[in-house]
Amino acid sequence: MAKAASASSSQAAVQASANSASVAAASSSSQAAASASSQANATSATNSAGSSISMDENTLTGFLNKYGESPALYKMEHDGMSKLKALQSTPDDMKTSGEKQTQYRLEHGLNP
């Protein structure tokens, strides 16, 4: 009977050791999956932030992002237009508030 108890105790030790190895492997696998998921989330956040920057030339924000200056300033620097002509030929929704103020002052003979 002592032999049976000893064999049973050995089997229990082997089973416990196998369970412990299984739990460790599952934990390691779970950590790797969490790490991969974390990296994927960081990448998609970067991609979504990067792709949300407007480069549409038909909006003031997109024009500024693409060329680094407002359409009126672009016309003055690249087309040789005067301040007033550049501002008058630019739609209001493509002007900054300062450009609208400058246009008003120029049109009314005030010092911009």
CB 95 within 8 A of CB 75: no
The boundaries of the domain holding residue 38 are: 1-52
> Which residues fall within 8 angstroms of residue 15, CB to CB, at 6 or more apart?
none
Does residue 69 sit in the same domain as residue 40?
Answer: no
State the total domains in the chain: 2
Does residue 67 sit in the same domain as residue 47?
Answer: no
Q: Is 13 exposed, middle or buried, given 0-12, 13-18 or 19+ CB atoms closer than 10 A?
A: exposed
Measured N-to-C along each axis, helices 60-67 and 71-79 cross at an angle, to the nearest 10 degrees, of 50
For the CA atoms of 36, 37, 39, 40, the dihedral, rounded to the nearest 10 degrees, stands at 120
Residue-wise pLDDT for 7-64, tens only, equals: 455 555 455 555 554 444 444 444 544 444 444 444 333 445 556 888 999 999 999 9
pTM over 0.85: no
Residue-wise pLDDT for 68-105, tens only, equals: 999 999 999 999 999 999 999 999 999 999 999 999 99
